[in-house]
């Protein structure tokens, strides 16, 4: 191998190493929480298991069920009604609690109109997994950290593929590990081969997650708006918030309780001009009957006039029936006139802009819903391989790390400049804003601080005080 090639290899190896230092702990967390979230339908069904297969004799109307839920929490506001999957299951009535616009409750009401259970939607198992996966449970700063980790994970995958790229000698150590060449080679092969097989799946997950990220998603929305690539409502969040603001990803609770977000009590409705009427000609029971006749994919949510929508956060003056299935290509939203009950509009996946449809397919794949159990199985295998990749990286680092140094790969002896690599870095920086910002910050810190502190520079494997440190 020629000296320039050696310098380039060492430079990319160092990039791969330092990207891994930051990314590996995040990969473990995101892979674990992502694998859990793949099974949201099954976990939520288990979570609600006590409120299924109830007696159906003496069933009451949906309006009566909502009144029962409101009676259990005096002063609460009605926000939505989720149809049961089966007639013998409890319905879910989503209420805003009085006195605190951010607090909500999921109230489960039996077919006979008896409150049989309550859950705080913020602390349901899948909501916690969702918030941990996307925001680390700390809001917007967590979203930035996750987005930064995803950006560097892309760098890690690309540099890893370069290091893996075969130079001849067969498929052993390339497509499958070598088990008879000693532990050092085995650990290297387990890491490299796993990385090769998972790289494509991991890139799909990273790229399909970017539209949800705060910085990237906001920039993406701005570009779509400028180019006129928006048609209908966006049905995914940005940075864990609805597209026009709010605090939470799955249940836009704050927006629900602000301004028009203070949903109408059951039996009231809002006219198109904003006037609130206390007697609704069209009842919840009538709309629920209409919704059942549509045979939409579960879960099906009915939102009354005056309550904001899930992702848009804006109140509407009409009844809305919406399928919230994770398989976004199957989603349907229907609105009904509050005075006549006539269908006003119907939005299906096919009605959306092609960009939204592409993102929708990606989101459905990311959440394991696009192809049913096959999608979930592939998602679990991807998560398992990513965790294996992280663990083998840690073992390789610990095996080669000197006691007195971090163990970074040796510095390139030459300039290690390569036009192709420069172009790739510039393209990635242009497409990944947080990656660009972190690169600038890292270069500034390295040149202005780290290289000037000789012991720290020695430990990191950097050149200290204007001289090159030993590369061995």
Cα–Cα distances in angstroms (integers) from residue 230 to residues 235, 351, 354, in the given order: 12, 11, 9
Is residue 336 within 8 Å of residue 290, measured between CB atoms?
yes
Q: Tokens in use for 95?
A: 């209420």
Distance CA 199, CA 374 (A): 19
Flag residues of the chain having pLDDT under 50: 1-4, 245-262, 270-276, 312, 464-472
Cα 295 from chain centroid? 28
Q: SS3 letters for 287-350?
A: HHHHHHHHCCCCCEEEECCCCECCCCCCECCCEEEEECCCCHHHCEEEEECCCCCCEEEEEEHH
Give the model's pLDDT for residue 260.
37
Give the model's pLDDT for residue 391.
95
Which residue intervals of 48-119 are DSSP H helices?
A: 62-72
Give the model's pLDDT for residue 271.
46
Give the model's pLDDT for residue 403.
86
Which residue intervals of 107-213 are DSSP H helices?
A: 125-135, 140-164, 183-209
Give the model's pLDDT for residue 266.
55
Is residue 223 within 8 Å of residue 205, measured between CB atoms?
no
Distance CA 238, CA 424 (A): 27
Distance CA 60, CA 80 (A): 18
Give the model's pLDDT for residue 408.
84
Cβ burial, residue 393 (10 Å; 0-12/13-18/19+): buried
255-280 confidence digits (pLDDT tens): 344 433 445 555 555 444 444 455 55
Distance CA 80, CA 93 (A): 6
DSSP 117-128: EEE-GGGSHHHH
Give the model's pLDDT for residue 454.
87
Give the model's pLDDT for residue 64.
97
Cα 4 from chain centroid? 41
Q: Which residues contact 395 (CB under 8 A, 6 or more apart)?
A: 187
Distance CA 238, CA 217 (A): 6
């Amino acid at each position: 191998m020629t000296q320039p090639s050696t310098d380039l290899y060492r430079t990319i190896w160092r990039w791969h190493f330092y990207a891994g230092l930051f990314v590996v702990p995040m990969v473990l967390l995101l892979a674990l929480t992502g694998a859990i979230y793949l099974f949201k339908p099954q976990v939520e069904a288990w979570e609600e298991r006590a409120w299924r297969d109830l007696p159906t004799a003496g069933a009451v109307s949906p309006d009566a069920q909502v009144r029962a839920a409101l009676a259990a929490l005096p002063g609460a506001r009605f926000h939505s009604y989720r149809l049961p999957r089966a007639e013998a299951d409890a319905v879910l009535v989503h209420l805003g609690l009085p006195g605190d616009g951010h607090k909500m409750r999921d109230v489960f009401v039996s077919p006979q109109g008896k409150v049989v259970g309550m859950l705080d939607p913020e602390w349901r198992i899948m909501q916690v997994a969702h918030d941990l996966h996307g925001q680390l449970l700390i809001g917007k700063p967590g979203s930035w950290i996750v987005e930064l980790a995803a950006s560097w994970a892309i760098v890690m995958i690309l540099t890893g593929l370069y290091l893996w790229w075969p130079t001849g000698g067969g498929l052993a150590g390339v497509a499958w590990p070598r088990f008879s060449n000693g532990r050092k080679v085995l650990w290297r092969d387990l890491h490299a081969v796993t990385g090769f097989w998972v790289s494509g799946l991991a890139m799909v997950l990273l790229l399909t997650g970017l539209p949800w990220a705060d910085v990237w998603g906001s920039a993406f929305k701005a570009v779509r708006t400028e180019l006129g690539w928006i048609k209908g409502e966006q049905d995914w969040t940005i940075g864990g918030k609805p597209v026009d603001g709010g605090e939470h990803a799955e249940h836009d609770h704050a927006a629900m309780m602000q301004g028009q977000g203070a949903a109408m009590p059951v039996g009231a409705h809002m006219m198109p001009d904003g006037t609130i009427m206390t007697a609704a000609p069209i009842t919840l029971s009538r709309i629920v009957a209409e919704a059942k006749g549509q045979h939409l994919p579960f879960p099906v949510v009915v939102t009354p006039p005056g309550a904001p929508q899930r992702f848009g956060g804006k109140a509407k003056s009409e009844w809305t029936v919406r399928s919230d299935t994770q398989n976004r290509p199957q989603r349907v939203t229907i609105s009904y006139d509050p005075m006549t009950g006539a269908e006003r509009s119907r939005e299906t996946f096919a009605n959306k802009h092609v960009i939204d449809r592409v993102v929708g397919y990606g989101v459905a794949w990311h959440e394991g819903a696009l192809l049913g159990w096959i999608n979930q199985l592939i998602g679990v295998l991807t998560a398992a391989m990513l965790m294996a990749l992280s663990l083998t990286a840690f073992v390789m680092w610990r095996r080669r790390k000197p006691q007195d140094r971090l163990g970074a790969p040796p510095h390139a002896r030459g300039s290690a400049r390569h036009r192709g690599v420069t172009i790739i870095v510039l393209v990635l920086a242009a497409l990944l804003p947080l990656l660009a910002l972190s690169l600038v910050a890292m270069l500034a810190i390295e040149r202005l601080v780290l290289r000037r502190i000789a012991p720290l520079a020695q430990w990191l494997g950097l050149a200290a005080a204007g001289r090159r440190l030993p590369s061995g």
